[in-house]
Amino acid sequence: MQKIIKYAEDNKVRFIDELIELLKIPSISNDPDSKPEMQNCAEWLHNQMKTIGLENVKIYQTGGHPAVYGDWLNAGKDKPTILMYGHYDVQPIDPIELWNSPPFEPVIKDNIIYGRGTTDDKGQFYIHFKSIEAHLKNKGKLPVNIKVIIEGEEEIGSPSLPKFIKDNNELLKCDYILISDTSMYDNDLPSICYGLRGLAFMQIDVTGPNADLHSGSFGGAVENPINALANIISKLKDDKGKILIDGFYDDVLDLSPQERKEFLRLPFDEEKFKKSLDVEELFGEEGYTTIERKSARPTLDCNGIWGGYQGQGAKTVLPSVAGAKVSMRLVPNQEPPKIEELFIDYVNKIAPKTVKVNVTALHSGNGSITPIDTPAVKAAMVALKKGFNIDPVFIREGGSIPIVSTFKELLGADAILLGFGLQDENAHSPDEHFDLRNFIRGICSISYYLDELADLKKYK
């Protein structure tokens, strides 16, 4: 491994030069005029995959923007197969006037590279490429079987990816998926994201009288659908943040003492957090820390509400309808279909007979967890520690990453999320940037990780 790490450090300048080439391609997936640049970027990756030594390299047309695939499957059947996923498409550049340097002409200042796609996700998946190169150039082989898929539609919701995975199930089959497209908890704090929350997104529609009424002539005699809706929403959670839906917590996988201990290690300044949101007091489920509440406990939030008159001034209407969107973040082992059903049953139970209430499930996604004592997670710990010379931390992400659920559903494989970006690197904003120290430490970490993955037995 010494040789491999030395290679990465010796070739640092060239790696960065190559990354700059990649960053110069304006591969904005939501721009209808970008089709040629998307193809251009896919071809650049195709060449690069060949250069680093991948086999079966091919650009796949997906119906949308192309995906680029390559693999190296000669490690032997006893070795795991790792699918490395990344995306070469980037966010739009508006508002362009807020950039301090042109988004597609990368510049480096104080070891930080500025440009669109630096941290999201070109700079990050290129770490994987260079780790593969370092292994193949120095040892002539990889310690595990590797498949690489880089798609071009992540920033527009990966519309073609599910069909592509279904159509190419055998091609993409793997034991684990490795993704570097998230952030570290803090700089100098390498992080393993081992859990994501799931989602059940509902809509409640309340109908009162069959037409908007004059609140003077009818007010007091007939139920107001907004008041009825507010009453329903107020009964979804108690004043200590506990969700009141019958059976909601039945399947929740409790946080283990070890997980809670790991969370306590994470530096967190509650005063700074409150100040950043400009709130006097935080609010969340009793008995849990803020970090646990926002990443590892199930939640319920209204995402939207409407009804009656929303303009300036007064209008004395007693409206016919009102509605709200309510979503629940779910944790392992909560199943979205069951939660949807519990939600519908509960709302129907508490709804007054004075209005008609209709509850619809709009969208859902599974949460996921790769227990922190899973060998592949333990191996990541060791690799990150070697790559950064710092003990890494475990984190869980409060949101859902749709591609992770998609991979889990269609390939049955868990994802290991090793992000090397930072939360304040302006992904999706002007002056997006990426700390090149983490680029190099990432290459070393992933190089170590491939090595550790080859011998998972020792982590069992």
Q: Which is nearer to a second copy, 170 or 269 (CB)?
A: 269
Q: Which is nearer to a second copy, 12 or 274 (CB)?
A: 274
Closest alpha carbon to 116 in 58, 30, 32: 30
Single out the segment in contact with a second copy by CB under 8 A; choices: 24-32, 79-87, 128-136, 290-298: 290-298
Q: Torsion angle of alpha carbons 148, 152, 158, 161, nearest 10°?
A: -50
- Site string (184-203) toward a second copy, x via CB under 8 A: -------------x-x-x--
- Give Cβ neighbours of residue 145 (< 8 Å, ≥ 6 apart): 71, 72, 73, 74, 75, 76, 79, 80, 81, 82
DSSP 228-255: HHHHHHHTTB-TTS-B-STTTTTT--PP
Q: Which is nearer to a second copy, 100 or 310 (CB)?
A: 310
- Give Cβ neighbours of residue 230 (< 8 Å, ≥ 6 apart): none
Q: Which is nearer to a second copy, 264 or 302 (CB)?
A: 302
DSSP 352: -
Is residue 2 at the binding interface for a second copy, with CB under 8 A as the rule? no
Residues 376-435 that bind a second copy (CB under 8 A): 397-400
- Site string (150-189) toward a second copy, x via CB under 8 A: ----------------------------------------
CA angle at residue 69 from 68 to 71, to 5 degrees? 155
Min dist CB 22 to a second copy, Å, is 28
- Give Cβ neighbours of residue 454 (< 8 Å, ≥ 6 apart): 75, 79, 80, 143, 144
Residues 303-322 that bind a second copy (CB under 8 A): 303-311, 313-319, 322
Residues 264-283 that bind a second copy (CB under 8 A): 277-283
Residues 200-239 that bind a second copy (CB under 8 A): 201, 208-211, 213-224, 226-227, 229-231, 233-237, 239
Say if CB 382 and CB 415 are below 8 A apart. no
Whether 89 is catalytic is yes
- Catalytic: which of 120, 154, 292, 425? 154
Min dist CB 415 to a second copy, Å, is 16
Min dist CB 271 to a second copy, Å, is 14
Distance, in Å, from the CA atom of 328 to the CA atom of 320, rounded to the nearest integer, reads: 27
> Applying CB under 8 A, what is the total number of residues that bind a second copy?
81
Whether 269 is catalytic is no
Distance, in Å, from the CA atom of 360 to the CA atom of 364, rounded to the nearest integer, reads: 12
Burial class for 252, CB neighbours closer than 10 Å (0-12, 13-18, 19+): middle
Min dist CB 261 to a second copy, Å, is 20
Residues 335-364 that bind a second copy (CB under 8 A): 352-356, 362-363
Say if CB 41 and CB 25 are below 8 A apart. yes
Active site residues: 89, 154
